[in-house]
């Protein structure tokens, strides 16, 4: 098992040759535990309305320049059909914390997807009430994603102002609840937030293990010019312990996550592919990841789900996007997984 100091040493390692040993180890463990298949999850960003003021996020409620949208149920069901037609096993419904997405409406949506398809349903809808989370689980939702973003509670509180956690103490409490009521539960962090140290990244990796998560998605922090953190970014990066928000550090975190949590599903995230367009997605898969989550949000909505800048340049029609991904998989000797791709970590608990 890796100690915290060993994790920190890897996070600070600069020598490319020594890092090869880290990539190789993570890749071997990935192959040994979760194999050579890569599971595809189709993401639909169903609403960019948000009640929160998260300082890093481009769709936070304070961003008055952004055009807001909400998909209709029929629009969502049509996209879900495309995702199933491409033989993906999972649809991910993602949104800001949009109060107009009522608990009942989401329940109805889940039931309809479950009725009309064989897809696993993953929800990523923020901090909702226990009653809603429970109703959605009963309606057939399989998984829930809620990132804790940073293991440093002081930093978390600083970048999440005007919190209204409703009945919840914090996100860890929500994650425990999600596991308890039977969701496959996912979390993750941003890497290189201003004020985030190497020490804290190591804490986060150890926290993944302690929480016994089923899915762990990590991405680089990408400064957004229309957010408080995007504006203060340079000023706040103030110490030699500041963790970089680059592709290399993101890959290190994913590789170390794989070593510490060998049975989890780890996506090679869109954020990583955004800051390294050539190699990001592929490198993620070669350094611990076993899942990709292509975006299926239709135009024109996709451009408005601007949690960070640079996402739209990646737009391809679904079929074309899919063909390119299959080609990339082939090149690195991996194959597309069929079926739902349930986390091994979840299965071993049942
Ligand atoms: N850079 C990187 N990731 C971001 N997210 C939001 N804003 C940014 C940003 N500027 C991610 C967070 C959040 C999810 C909605 O998107 O991890 O959980």
110-142 residue pLDDT tens: 999 999 999 999 999 999 999 999 999 999 999
Query: How many domains in the chain?
Result: 1
pLDDT of residue 313: 73
pTM (two decimals): 0.97
Count CB atoms within 10 A of the CB of residue 265: 25
| Structure tokens belonging to residue 63 | 């961003």
Q: What is the pLDDT of residue 343?
A: 98
Calculate the average pLDDT of the chain.
95
Closest residue CA from atom 8 of ligand 1:
57
CA 307 to ligand 1 centroid distance, Å:
6
CA distance 191 to 281: 16
Mean pLDDT of 276-285: 96
Is 232's pLDDT higher than 80? no
Q: Work out which ligand 1 atom sits closest to the CA atom of 220.
A: 2
Answer yes or no: is pLDDT of 72 > 70.
yes
Instruction: State in Å: Cα 221 to ligand 1 middle.
Output: 7
In whole angstroms, how far apart are CA 231 and each of 42, 170, 227? 32, 27, 6
Q: Which atom of ligand 1 is nearest to the CA of 58?
A: 7
Cα 270 to ligand 1 centroid, rounded to whole Å: 10
Residues lining ligand 1, judged by CB closer than 6 Å? 56-57, 147, 149, 190, 219, 221-222, 224, 271, 307-308
Q: How far apart are CA 198 and CA 192, in angstroms?
A: 9
Cβ(55)–Cβ(229) under 8 Å? yes
Query: Can you tell me the mean pLDDT for 288-308?
Result: 96
Supply the pLDDT for residue 1: 84
Per-residue model confidence (pLDDT) at position 237: 67
CATH of the domain at 197: 3.20.20.70
- 238 has pLDDT over 90: no
Q: What is the pLDDT of residues 145-159, one digit of tens each?
A: 999 999 999 999 999
Assess whether pLDDT exceeds 90 at residue 212: yes
Token digits of residue 267: 């996506």
Give me the mean pLDDT over the 166-178 stretch: 94
Domain that holds residue 60: 4-347
pLDDT at 85: 97
């Amino acid at each position: 098992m890796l100690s915290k100091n060993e994790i920190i040493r890897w996070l600070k390692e600069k020598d490319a040759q020594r890092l090869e040993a880290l990539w190789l180890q993570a890749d071997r463990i990935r192959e040994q535990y979760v194999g050579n298949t890569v599971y595809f999850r189709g993401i639909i960003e169903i609403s960019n309305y948000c009640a929160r003021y998260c300082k890093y996020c481009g769709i936070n409620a304070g961003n008055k320049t952004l055009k807001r949208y909400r998909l209709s149920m029929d629009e969502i069901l049509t996209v879900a059909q495309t995702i199933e037609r491409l033989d993906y096993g999972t649809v991910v419904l993602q949104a800001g914390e949009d109060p107009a997405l009522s608990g009942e409406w989401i329940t109805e949506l889940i039931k309809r997807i479950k009725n009309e398809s064989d897809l696993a349903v993953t929800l990523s809808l923020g901090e909702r009430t226990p009653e809603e989370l429970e109703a959605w689980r009963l309606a057939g939702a399989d998984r829930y994603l809620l990132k804790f973003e940073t293991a440093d509670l002081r930093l978390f509180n600083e970048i999440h102002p005007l919190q209204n956690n409703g009945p919840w103490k914090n996100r860890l409490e929500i994650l425990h609840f999600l596991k308890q009521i039977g969701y496959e539960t996912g979390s993750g962090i941003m890497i290189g937030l201003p004020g985030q140290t190497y020490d804290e990244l190591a804490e986060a990796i150890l926290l993944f293990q302690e929480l016994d998560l089923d899915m762990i998605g990590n991405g680089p922090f990408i400064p957004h010019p229309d957010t408080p953190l995007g504006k203060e970014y340079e000023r706040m990066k103030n110490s030699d312990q500041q963790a970089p928000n680059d592709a290399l550090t993101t890959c290190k975190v994913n590789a170390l996550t794989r070593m510490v949590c060998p049975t989890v599903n780890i996506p090679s995230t869109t954020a990583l592919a955004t800051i390294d367009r050539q190699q990001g997605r592929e490198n993620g898969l070669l350094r611990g990841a076993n899942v990709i989550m292509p975006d299926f949000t239709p135009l024109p909505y996709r451009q408005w789900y601007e949690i960070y800048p640079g996402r739209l340049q990646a737009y391809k029609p679904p079929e074309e996007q899919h063909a390119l991904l299959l080609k990339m998989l082939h090149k690195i000797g991996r194959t597309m997984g069929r079926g739902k791709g349930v986390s091994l970590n979840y299965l071993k608990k049942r």
